[in-house]
């Protein structure tokens, strides 16, 4: 590190996100909202500081892991502290946050940025980023998160009960709009057979009736298995083409007031710290929005 970089890192290392006067300090709230242990939470906060450091000095756009991104999200909720202290007094320029535009090109771009971020991490800190906080790209961009009320739901980890969890998800998915018509058709077929007298065994002896219903049950199970396989193949296909909404491009987050101050020409250049970039790549009078073009250490993530 250079002397200036070391000075910045010392400021970040000493920065405390917790307010000692708060009954629910930042780290405890972060742990509660993500169901993390306090020890793991503290480690993720340290990695967030490293991410912020990389965003300032890496010289290329950077993308955080999802775990680090959760710290970033929560930090920005304390907007006064984030912008008026962290960005103004700790960092040399603001660290903005903006969502991806979606699509395959964006997916490939953020995948590349994430790889470069980990490479710069290893080069600058002379150690590999911890895998339990900075996972492989396929894991980083392959997971789907939803907000759940734990008082109303029971969560089963798929890795602990793979067959049971898949079966439950499949049954629930049967009632979704795209799958429900197939289920309705199956039920309708059995009703039609019953009402038209095709299930003669039901009208006969008990043994005959049992035999007929057994056959119908087997057919129903076969149909469910077929739907399950179709659903699994469909999920795999969709997953490979999904948009990575958890990665962000900060150039979309430049404030309107700052945009008006930029040159109206998309090819003109504006000074942005030590670098310069075109006016449509995210520079503003208050700092570099950091995720597009050559704005001296992008801060998308």
Q: Does pLDDT of 32 surpass 80?
A: yes
Q: pLDDT tier at 245 (50, 70, 90 boundaries)? A: very low
What per-residue confidence (pLDDT) applies to 299?
A: 43
Question: What percent of the chain is predicted at pLDDT more than 70?
Answer: 55
Q: Does pLDDT of 119 surpass 70?
A: yes
Q: Are 156 and 164 in contact (CB under 8 A)?
A: yes
DSSP assignment of 271-291, as one string? EETTEEEETTTTEETTEE--S
Specify the DSSP element, H or E, that contains 78.
Answer: none
Q: Which residue has the higher pLDDT, 53 or 301?
A: 53
Q: Which residue has the higher pLDDT, 264 or 112?
A: 112
Distances (CA, A) of 67 to 31, 176, 300: 11, 30, 15
Mean of pLDDT over the chain: 72
Q: Are 141 and 110 in contact (CB under 8 A)?
A: yes
Coil, helix or strand at residue 277 = strand
Q: pLDDT tier at 12 (50, 70, 90 boundaries)? A: very high
Q: Are 297 and 62 in contact (CB under 8 A)?
A: yes
Q: Does pLDDT of 236 surpass 80?
A: no
What per-residue confidence (pLDDT) applies to 246?
A: 37
The tokens of 48 are what?
A: 């967030």
Q: Does pLDDT of 293 surpass 80?
A: no
- By C-alpha distance, which of 117, 55, 139, 128 is closest to 90? 55
- Mean pLDDT score, 78-87: 94
CA–CA distance, 34 with 41 (Å, rounded to integer): 9
- Mean pLDDT score, 162-180: 63
At 123-150, the pLDDT tens digits run 999 999 999 999 999 989 888 788 888 7
- Mean pLDDT score, 175-201: 55
What per-residue confidence (pLDDT) applies to 130?
A: 96
What per-residue confidence (pLDDT) applies to 165?
A: 67
Dihedral sign from CA coordinates of 273, 83, 255, 67: positive
CA–CA distance, 189 with 179 (Å, rounded to integer): 16
With helix as H, strand as E and coil as C, how does 2-33 read? CHHHHHHHHHHHHCCCCCCCCCCCHHHHHHHH
């Amino acid at each position: 590190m250079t002397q200036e970089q070391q000075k910045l890192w010392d400021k970040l290392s000493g920065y405390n996100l917790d307010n000692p006067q708060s009954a629910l300090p930042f780290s405890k709230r972060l742990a509660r909202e993500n169901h993390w242990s306090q020890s793991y939470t503290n480690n993720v906060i340290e990695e967030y500081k490293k991410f912020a450091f990389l965003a300032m000095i890496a010289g290329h756009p950077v993308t955080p892991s999802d775990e680090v991104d959760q710290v970033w999200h929560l930090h920005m909720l304390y907007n006064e502290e984030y912008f008026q202290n962290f960005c103004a007094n700790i960092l040399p320029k603001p660290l903005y946050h903006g969502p991806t535009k979606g699509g395959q090109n964006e997916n490939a771009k953020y995948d590349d940025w994430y790889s470069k971020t980990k490479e710069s991490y290893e080069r600058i800190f002379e150690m590999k980023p911890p895998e339990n906080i900075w996972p492989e790209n396929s894991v980083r961009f392959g997971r789907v998160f939803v907000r759940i009320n734990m008082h109303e739901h029971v969560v089963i980890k798929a890795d602990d009960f793979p067959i049971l969890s898949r079966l439950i998800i499949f049954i629930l998915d049967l009632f979704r709009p795209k799958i429900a018509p197939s289920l309705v058709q199956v039920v309708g077929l059995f009703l039609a057979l019953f009402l038209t007298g095709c299930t003669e065994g039901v009208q006969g002896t008990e043994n005959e009736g049992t035999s007929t219903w057994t056959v119908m049950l087997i057919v129903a199970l076969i149909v469910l298995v077929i739907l399950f396989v179709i659903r699994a193949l469909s999920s795999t296909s969709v997953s490979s083409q999904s948009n990575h909404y958890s990665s962000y491009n900060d150039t979309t987050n430049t404030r309107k007031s700052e945009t008006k101050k930029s040159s109206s020409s998309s090819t003109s250049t504006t000074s942005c710290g030590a670098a310069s970039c075109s006016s449509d790549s995210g520079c503003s009078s208050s700092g570099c929005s950091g995720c597009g073009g050559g704005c001296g250490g992008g801060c998308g993530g």
